[in-house]
Amino acid sequence: MTKKVYLFVLCLLCASRLTAQSHSAEIGFETDDDSYLAQGDDKYYTAGTFLYYRQALEVAPGSHLANKVLGFELGQKLYTPQSGSINYLGFDDPKYIDRPFAAYLYVGSTLNLLGKDESNLKLSAQLGIVGPGALGKEIQSGIHKLFGLYQPSGWEYQIENDVELNLSAQYNRLLGRWDWADVTFTSYANLGNGFSGAGVGPMLRLGSFNQLFNSESTQSTATRATNVKPLHDHELFFYYQPQLNLVLYDATIQGSLFNKRSAGSTEKTLSPESFIFSNQLGLGYSGNRFVIDAAIVFHTKDVKEMVSQDRWGNVTFLYRFR
């Protein structure tokens, strides 16, 4: 694992020699997994896979906006208790499940409005499903079989099927900048029958980074602007983002907001913690054609019954074109 990290950093340093150019579209993926931390964990938010397409839109002359990006995405998230196999833990009783089995599959769209004053408002909408229809059991079992890992058990207790409509708004604003560092205020609010809540916190960047209207930090490396000079030909920076999160509703923990549990259901639900604190540390890069982000996330307990806090790694890779 250590050799892989060194190789990844070396590739970034070599790629940083490339000169960045303006491209109006990008396509790529993100993968989240607790196994990336090489700690032997396979629990709680255990895996996520996302596909992205983003297209920069025209900005009217004289507008207060410096960039405008339309995005589309397809994603899936998987959640399990302290192990993906309750038989492995030596019991087959749902009362020992400390975080419900759940999967969330969705399609979504985003509109990112990025101002010349280095503030941005990103609006998003997702239509998805939580439950067996999200194919969590099938995906996890298939991956474990492919790599010769243990076979999951306990998905019969997963959150039942429920269609979700979730809306979200993110707002960021630059607070201060120096030659090699800057600080940004970040916030978000979610509203929907799947996820409702809000979060706030700062983001610190150290290294070579660009303005927030054309940066990997705000998912705005796709741009049509040719009259704005970036701070650097490429980005290569470390970032740290602590965040306080208020949870009002989480369907992957509580189940359906409106529908009653079906007769004979084996669904296991719990109640989420109202406040969750997260820390994210990462390395971001954007160059001529490629955008790469690698991060580690530490997350306090989603529910009080969890035996430990959550943590995972994520990697994002995008290709820029046009």
Q: What is the DSSP string of 211-274?
A: -GGGSGGGT-------SS--SSSSEEEEEEEEEEEEEEEEHHHH--SSSPPPTT---------S
* Bridge-based pairing state of the strands 195-208 and 102-115: unpaired
Q: Each residue of 46-66: pLDDT tens digit?
A: 999 999 999 999 999 889 999
pLDDT confidence of 215, banded at 50, 70, 90? very high
Q: What's the pLDDT at 149?
A: 87
Average pLDDT of every residue of the chain: 91
Residue 19 scores a pLDDT above 50:
no
Q: What is the mean pLDDT of residues 199-207?
A: 98
Query: What are the start-end ranges of the H helices in 27-172?
Result: 136-146
Q: What's the pLDDT at 17?
A: 45
Task: Specify the higher pLDDT residue, 209 or 88.
Answer: 209
CB atoms within 10 A of CB 3: 7
Q: What is the DSSP string of 48-87?
A: EEEEEEEEE----TT-SEEEEEEEEEEEEEEEESSSSBTT
Q: Are 27 and 69 in contact (CB under 8 A)?
A: no
Q: Which CATH class is domain 2-9+21-321?
A: mainly beta
Task: Quote the CA–CA distance of 189 and 225 in Å, as a whole number.
Answer: 29
Residue 1 scores a pLDDT above 80:
no
Residue 223 scores a pLDDT above 60:
yes
CB atoms within 10 A of CB 64: 11
Q: How distant, in Å, are the alpha carbons of 127, 139, 205 from that of 104?
A: 10, 12, 31
CB atoms within 10 A of CB 118: 19
pLDDT confidence of 226, banded at 50, 70, 90? confident
pLDDT confidence of 92, banded at 50, 70, 90? low
Provide the whole-model pTM. Answer: 0.91
Task: Quote the CA–CA distance of 291 and 18 in Å, as a whole number.
Answer: 12
Structure tokens at 210: 């660009």
Q: What is the mean pLDDT of residues 161-176?
A: 98
Task: Quote the CA–CA distance of 258 and 81 in Å, as a whole number.
Answer: 24
